Amino acid sequence: MRPRALVYGDVDLNLIDGSAIWAQGMVQALARAGCAVTLVLKAPVRTGRLVDPLAAIKGVTVRRPHEEGRVEGGAGMTAKQAVRVLTEIDEAEPYDLVVIRGRRLAGKLAHSPLRGRLWTYLTDVPQSAPEFDGNARGELTRIAEASRFLLCQTEELRCFLEAAVPATAGRCVLFSPVVVLPDGLSPQDRTPPDGRPLRLVYTGKFAPRWNTYEMTGLPRLLAARDVEAELHMVGDKVHDDPKDPNFSRRMRTALESGDGVVWHGGHPRAEAMRLTAGCDIGLSWRHPDMDASLELSTKVLEMGALGVPVVLNRTPMHERLLGADYPLFAASETDVVEALAVTAREPETYALAAERCRAAAAGFSLDAAADRLRRYLTQAFPEPSEAILRASRDGGRKLRVGVAGHDLKFFTRLLDYLKSRPDMEVRVDHWSALKVHDPERSQELVDWADVVICEWCGPNALWYAEHKRPGQRLFVRLHRFELYSGWPQRLDIGAVDKIICVSPHYGDLTRKMTGWPANKVVVVPNWVDDTQFDREKLEGAEHHLGMIGIAPARKRLDLGLDVLEQLRRDDPRFMLFIKSKLPWDYWWIWQREEEREHYDQVFRRIRRSPLLAGAVVFDSYGRDVASWLRRIGFVLSTSDDESFHLAPAEGMAAGAVPALLPWPGAETIYDPRWIHADPAAMAGSIAATVREGRWEDERRLGRDQLREAYALDEVCRQWTVLIAGEQM
Amino acid sequence: MTESSTSETAEKSAESAKALRTQQAQANRQVAKLRAAVRERDDRLRELEERLVALEGSTTYRFGRIVVGAARRPGRRATRLPRELYRLWKHRDAPQRPGQSSDFTRGRSEVFDREEDRLLAASPAALEGSVRQLVIAGVFGPSTTADLAGFARTLPLFPHDGGLVLESSDADLVLVDVTAGAPGGPWAYLGEPGMYDRERTLGTLLDAARGRDLPVVLWPAGRGDEGELGGAATAPGLSRLDWDAIAVPGVSLLRFNPAWGAERDRTPLVIDPGVRLPLGVRRAVDAITATIGARVADPTPAELPQLLRRHSVTVAATPAQVPEQLASGAFVLCPAAVAGALPADLRAHVHVVTDPAALPETLSAVPLYDPRLALRTLFLRHSAPVRLAELCERLGIDADPAAGRRVTVVADVGSAADAARLADDVLAQSHRPAEVAFAPGAGLPGGALTAVTARLAEHGVTVCTRSAGDPAGRSGTATPGEAPWVAPWPTGARVPESHLADLVCAAECSGADAVGPAAGAPDHTFVAAVEPALVRRELYETGGAPAGWSAQGARLMSLDSRG
């Protein structure tokens, strides 16, 4: 069944600007990904340049609220009007997903019936930490909670958002700009000009920070280097700059009469690209103030799609796109002239630059966008299962699944998955504390659910076992601490269908300590949202060790420090980054004297050891783990005891190499190659991996292992089988 | 027990159990209600706090505080008033973060009850240096502390403790070194787009600094104005912030200096700047390297100084490499594009390469190369203490990073002509002494003494008198003055204007305790005895005869700087 997508971009498709190109690309990509798309127009159609081709695509419907009489007057819809119109259209026949662009609109839709189905494309977010105030954070939190996905143009934007607004973590996915070449244009093989002038091209607005005035001097400067050049300028918007009142006059003069400058004026996008395709090198060199942008210029990608190499600023984003050794990075006018002069004379350098740009642009094609959307659609709309439907009490209707527990942080993602299934209905009985709940609410769940899952084998499990309805199935997930709490021993195991442990070791331990029938205890591992964690590593990460969660004392931060000290004896670039609450943030830990003594020693050592001073950084606890792991090359697990220890698994999904000490059961969860006898062995292995250049291979292996065993899709499949009552 | 009583007992037990469960459920509901009430009260409290912050953040309120603050402390606050008002105007529309003190001039201390209590806290800096030692807190790169050692006391701030350390520190300014964002350090990735946590933490530190009236200074990776020739991609997120100064650091002659007397490797050396070079420079460096067979090295910051000292010829791939290589005593080859980005006085000391093919002949002259002129230029204009002193003056900081270079000239003056010549020579010195201590001879008219004293004082040179006697003053008594160096002044001959500069530079580079001519010894050589031209004060006053200094462990360097 094709998902039905409603798309509204708060854009006027009579103007061909960046936002209109976005809308066009989104509609095309959704259609190609298999959706039935309805595009709602903001403004009455005055020119069909963009709209008509979209309406002609099979599966795409264009709704015109003004013509349909939903909106009066000829002005584009306000956000308020758009909310009303979209809600009305959806009410008539609900859509599976609602793709929108614009923070203001999203903020209003967050309170509408479309809440929960929004796929929100955010561009107008604060771009720096000081700009993030409580209002912005609050609004973006509401938008995040109302959105299924937050579509981010770049990894930089995604990471920034997740750190600034915790509610966005786990919901942000990448949706890069879509570059679609107009008909008749395609990438060409190119060589530097021979026997004719070098043709430079710039398209866009003329404004001071875009260095457009400086560009007009390039033909003259290149002539001094014996390189004959022309600069082709396409565009007609000359900005007035209050700080430089003479700019517009100066700019016009240069456009009209600059040496070697050919001003083509304003042109539609297709024509501008055709002119670009006829040139040799594009210019996207800007003032350094713009280097910190979280957005990517589509002009650069369009030129790359045409096979035209581009001169642009060196930024971390551009380095990842084109390679740190891309030859046409430039910051100053001198750099630009040098780069152009050299490239004009060296065919191999020109070819390298063109190829890098073309390869980079390939990742932004319509097919690439459609692939990405298909993955998100699969994630958002899993296929229904006959086995699940059979398992419902009345057969053929949705299976009713109840989840009960006081702390659902390790269950949230699975809960999202269960809720997204078309063959399940899910309700949650969230206990306010380990032992505190509303019995009436719990009883309602008992009366309603076909299946109840108790997260943690605590008082919740005892209560539900006691109140279980005949024919109802009850599953209890046991982690670790419960085994030593006494509750499992009081559990009526006869009322429980399955106890789920997260590791084989804890499965065995549970059977041993409780004496429960062996077949009652099954193992379904913890999952890692591998697609969320799969992000590009930051440069230099191979020297960064990471630990996630260092409390209580059994996490053995001191052993992590042993590893770090040994590494830093030979290479002071090794660092330890810790993402965790501090032990005094947990009252039940800090009230224990032995815990305080342990940490007193550990922190004293960090402060005073010459090898550790300045080498250990405590980063804030938060949900932005995936973004944080980009800076980590090795994730350590030095605990005395763990049931699963998610940290190394998350590290593996993020492309870091795991490094574990042999806590009981570690070898049943992780490949023994990652387990080391003691801190000295761990340090030796890490040092050798980096020194011998094996880090890339090792981390790739770790990521593949993780995907095979603990990827979210696989673990969800196992839970689905379990809930369906089938054999595992 | 009968069956009926058993059944009654069971019934009663069941009823009791049910009653207990009911009571427990009621208690649980009560707990849930109380929790809800507490949450609601917390929400209201939070709302009130936000309103208070909003009030304190209003432009009207902030304007009033700035003006009142300047009126209360007219000296320093008044000079900063225009800048603070400008900043207030510039950021008038900027949102305020919750919990942030919106006034740039006042951050609420978490350590001190009253801000004035800070004045009571003893500073460890007092144990190490003078009252006017510069104390720099900051976000440091791999070599910042080493580059500042000897000229300033440094307090590194880390992401998790920066606020606490800064709050309780006795710092004069907060410095952010762009190289702190390099991987392999606590602030890795600072300044990279998307690093919200680092950016926010830095923002909090900068706000705290401003709250204490501490200037905030950015130390760029390159020289700041030469585009890509800055080397590694500078952190774009940093350059867009608001700084009181962007200061190019000077070279530390304590770190980078020639290894005089040691044999040098004649193989030219290139310090690999990596792939991040402009294309034109990359081509030029590659051409030079290939032509002269240079060795390419990638040392750590700790290894770099020693590596440079071991080579007689180096190739500078970026402008930032030039001062370090010149200071190390090397003959520096520079591609034209790199040289073009240098200030004129440094460019004069490098060999600009326009035709690599001509290099082999050029290099044949290297054994004759004397780095002294380059060192003099660096010492006077491009070294760390000079740059730091300029920064202090610009920012109104009462500190003297160049205190270690201060010299007391000691001289006997027998006549008015001697006095006038002394004044001429002293004032002509490119490195002017801080003090002159001279013993007036019997033949010196009182008026001449007064005139010389006034003339020197007019140019900031303090004059003090001492007893006549051995000009070296080696009588075990204190020599007037406070400067760490004492320079016995040669009488009877004109002294070149570079005299003190060369002496102090040699001492700073070598760590010598005394510098001066040594018969038969080449310049810049450690020797057993010197004719003292520059001596550490404590050695001068208590060391006895110079012939015995070496035996006491003093390091003596030969240098005849009289021309």
pLDDT above 90: residue B521: no
For residue A158, give the chain B residue with the closest CA.
B194
> What is chain A's mean pLDDT, rounded?
93
Domain B129-246 identical in fold to domain B406-558? no
Better-predicted residue by pLDDT, A714 or B63 = A714
pLDDT above 90: residue B121: no
E-strand stretches of B298-386: 313-315, 331-335, 351-353
Q: What confidence tier does B224 reach under pLDDT thresholds 50, 70, 90?
A: very low
Rounded distance, CA A360 to CA A328, Å?
14
Residues in chain B: 563
Average pLDDT rounded to a whole number, residues B353-360: 93
Q: A433-447, A578-592, B4-18 — which is least confidently predicted?
A: B4-18
**B500: closest CA of chain A, how far (Å):** 39
* Nearest CB neighbour to A334, from listed B185, B227, B236: B227
Average pLDDT rounded to a whole number, residues A125-131: 89
For residue B23, give the chain A residue with the closest CA.
A439
**What residue has token string 């959307």?**
A373
Distances (CA, A) of A669 to A314, A504, A506, A642, B424: 43, 8, 11, 11, 83
Average pLDDT rounded to a whole number, residues A425-430: 95
Q: What confidence tier does B124 reach under pLDDT thresholds 50, 70, 90?
A: low
**A263: closest CA of chain B, how far (Å):** 28
Question: pLDDT (tens digit, 9 = 90+) per residue, B141-188?
Answer: 999 999 999 999 999 999 999 998 998 888 999 999 999 999 999 999
For residue A432, give the chain B residue with the closest CA.
B32
Cis? peptide before A552, omega within 30° of 0: yes
Whether residue A129 and residue B203 make contact (CB cut-off 8 A), yes or no, is: yes
Phi-psi region of A591 (alpha: psi -120 to 50; beta: other; left: phi over 0): alpha
Question: pLDDT (tens digit, 9 = 90+) per residue, A183-192?
Answer: 888 888 888 8
pLDDT score recorded for residue B434: 96
Residues of A in contact with B274 (CB under 8 A): 324
Q: What confidence tier does B113 reach under pLDDT thresholds 50, 70, 90?
A: low
Whether residue A343 and residue B185 make contact (CB cut-off 8 A), yes or no, is: no
DSSP H helical ranges for A515-592: 530-533, 557-570, 587-590
Q: For a pLDDT cut of 70, what percent of chain A falls above it? A: 99
Sign of CA dihedral A588, A593, A595, A596: positive
Whether residue A332 and residue B192 make contact (CB cut-off 8 A), yes or no, is: no
For residue A545, give the chain B residue with the closest CA.
B184
Better-predicted residue by pLDDT, B562 or A517 = A517
pLDDT score recorded for residue A677: 98
**A716: closest CA of chain B, how far (Å):** 31
Q: Which CATH superfamily is domain A386-527 in?
A: Glycogen Phosphorylase B; (3.40.50.2000)
- Dihedral of the CA atoms B298, B303, B309, B312 (nearest 10)? -10
What are the residue ranges spanned by the domains of chain A? Answer: 4-174, 198-363, 386-527, 535-710
Average pLDDT rounded to a whole number, residues A307-334: 93
Residues of B in contact with A128 (CB under 8 A): 199, 237, 240
Whether residue A538 and residue B183 make contact (CB cut-off 8 A), yes or no, is: yes
pLDDT score recorded for residue B365: 74
Average pLDDT rounded to a whole number, residues A654-671: 96
Whether residue A130 and residue B186 make contact (CB cut-off 8 A), yes or no, is: no
What are the residue ranges spanned by the domains of chain B? Answer: 1-34, 48-106, 129-246, 269-382, 406-558
pLDDT score recorded for residue B465: 81
**B87: closest CA of chain A, how far (Å):** 14
Q: Chain A interface, mutation test: which of B38, B140, B189, B197, most A Cβ atoms within 10 Å? A: B197
Q: What confidence tier does A390 reach under pLDDT thresholds 50, 70, 90?
A: confident
Distances (CA, A) of B40 to A397, B34, B46, B544: 40, 10, 10, 80
pLDDT score recorded for residue B44: 67
Residues of A in contact with B233 (CB under 8 A): 314-316, 319
A390, with CB counted inside 10 A (0-12, 13-18, 19+), is middle
Residues of A in contact with B178 (CB under 8 A): none
Of residues B371, B365, B246, the one with CA closest to residue B308: B371
Rounded distance, CA A539 to CA B232, Å?
12
Rounded distance, CA A693 to CA A377, Å?
38
Whether residue A436 and residue B50 make contact (CB cut-off 8 A), yes or no, is: no
pLDDT above 80: residue B519: yes
**What residue has token string 């350098």?**
A349
pLDDT score recorded for residue B239: 81
* Nearest CB neighbour to B188, from listed A315, A325, A544: A544
pLDDT above 80: residue A123: no
CATH fold of the domain at B406-558: Spore Coat Polysaccharide Biosynthesis Protein SpsA; Chain A (3.90.550)
* Nearest CB neighbour to B196, from listed A164, A315, A335: A164
pLDDT above 70: residue B120: no
* Nearest CB neighbour to B279, from listed A342, A437, A615: A342
pLDDT above 90: residue A49: no
Average pLDDT rounded to a whole number, residues A364-375: 94
Q: Chain B interface, mutation test: which of A441, A571, A617, most B Cβ atoms within 10 Å? A: A617
A709, with CB counted inside 10 A (0-12, 13-18, 19+), is middle
Of residues B426, B410, B421, B468, the one with CA closest to residue B443: B468
Better-predicted residue by pLDDT, B103 or B552 = B552
pLDDT score recorded for residue B75: 52
* Nearest CB neighbour to A160, from listed B183, B196, B283: B196
Q: What confidence tier does B65 reach under pLDDT thresholds 50, 70, 90?
A: low
CATH of region B269-382: 3.40.50
**What residue has token string 């660092």?**
A575
pLDDT score recorded for residue A629: 98
Q: Chain A interface, mutation test: which of B279, B300, B342, B354, most A Cβ atoms within 10 Å? A: B279
Q: How many residue contacts between A and B have a Cβ separation below 8 Å?
A: 179
Sign of CA dihedral B124, B127, B129, B131: positive
Whether residue A343 and residue B279 make contact (CB cut-off 8 A), yes or no, is: yes
Sign of CA dihedral A196, A198, A202, A207: negative
pLDDT above 70: residue B33: no
pLDDT above 50: residue B67: yes
CA B511, B514, B515: angle at the middle one, nearest 5? 95
Single-letter amino acid code for the residue at A183? D
Most trustworthy range by pLDDT among A290-294, A543-547, B132-136: A543-547
pLDDT above 60: residue B210: yes
Q: Under 8 Å CB-to-CB from B320, ≥6 apart: which residues?
A: B221, B222, B223, B230, B231
**Whether the Cβ atoms of residue B377 and residue B346 lie closer than 8 Å to each other:** yes
pLDDT score recorded for residue B48: 66
Residues of A in contact with B94 (CB under 8 A): 130-131
For residue B202, give the chain A residue with the closest CA.
A129
Residues of A in contact with B188 (CB under 8 A): 538, 540, 544, 575, 631
Residues of B in contact with A135 (CB under 8 A): 95
Q: What confidence tier does B22 reach under pLDDT thresholds 50, 70, 90?
A: confident
**What residue has token string 């456009």?**
A255
Single-letter amino acid code for the residue at A327? P
The secondary structure of residue A208, as a DSSP letter, is G
pLDDT score recorded for residue B16: 80
* Nearest CB neighbour to A631, from listed B28, B188, B280: B188
pLDDT score recorded for residue B104: 35
* Nearest CB neighbour to B337, from listed A159, A338, A538: A338
Question: pLDDT (tens digit, 9 = 90+) per residue, A337-357?
Answer: 999 999 999 999 999 999 999
Whether residue B159 and residue A617 make contact (CB cut-off 8 A), yes or no, is: yes
Helix (H, G, I), strand (E, B) or coil at B169: coil
Q: Under 8 Å CB-to-CB from B70, ≥6 apart: which residues?
A: B77, B78, B80, B81, B84
Whether residue B188 and residue A574 make contact (CB cut-off 8 A), yes or no, is: no
pLDDT above 70: residue B82: no
Residues of A in contact with B192 (CB under 8 A): 156, 316, 538
pLDDT score recorded for residue B107: 46
CATH of region B129-246: 3.40.50
**B342: closest CA of chain A, how far (Å):** 14
Whether residue B186 and residue A436 make contact (CB cut-off 8 A), yes or no, is: no
Residues of B in contact with A163 (CB under 8 A): 196-197, 200
**B551: closest CA of chain A, how far (Å):** 35
pLDDT score recorded for residue B106: 40
**B260: closest CA of chain A, how far (Å):** 29
Rounded distance, CA A383 to CA A374, Å?
13
Q: A248-262, A330-344, B462-476 — which is least confidently predicted?
A: B462-476
Better-predicted residue by pLDDT, B363 or B7 = B363
pLDDT above 90: residue A391: no
Average pLDDT rounded to a whole number, residues B418-434: 93
For residue A288, give the chain B residue with the closest CA.
B236
Give this prediction's pTM: 0.86
Whether residue B158 and residue A617 make contact (CB cut-off 8 A), yes or no, is: yes
**B116: closest CA of chain A, how far (Å):** 28
Q: At what angle do helices A333-345 and B279-292 cross, to 10 degrees?
A: 60
Q: For a pLDDT cut of 70, what percent of chain B falls above it? A: 76
* Nearest CB neighbour to B183, from listed A332, A539, A618: A539
Whether residue B239 and residue A317 make contact (CB cut-off 8 A), yes or no, is: no
A671, with CB counted inside 10 A (0-12, 13-18, 19+), is middle
Residues of B in contact with A343 (CB under 8 A): 279
For residue A615, give the chain B residue with the closest CA.
B186
Matching CATH number, A198-363, of 3.10.150.10, 2.70.170.10, 3.40.50.460, 3.40.50.2000: 3.40.50.2000
Hey, what are B209's tokens?
């600094």
Whether residue A332 and residue B227 make contact (CB cut-off 8 A), yes or no, is: yes
Most trustworthy range by pLDDT among A338-342, A395-399, B435-439: A338-342
Most trustworthy range by pLDDT among A382-386, A714-718, B416-420: A714-718
Average pLDDT rounded to a whole number, residues A584-588: 92
CATH of region A535-710: 3.40.50.2000
Q: A112-121, A549-558, B212-221, B507-516 — which is least confidently predicted?
A: B212-221
Residues of A in contact with B239 (CB under 8 A): 288-289, 291
Domain A4-174 identical in fold to domain A386-527? yes
Q: A604-608, B7-11, B471-475 — which is least confidently predicted?
A: B471-475
Whether residue A330 and residue B228 make contact (CB cut-off 8 A), yes or no, is: yes
Average pLDDT rounded to a whole number, residues B384-411: 95
pLDDT score recorded for residue B419: 86
Class of domain A4-174 as given by CATH: alpha beta
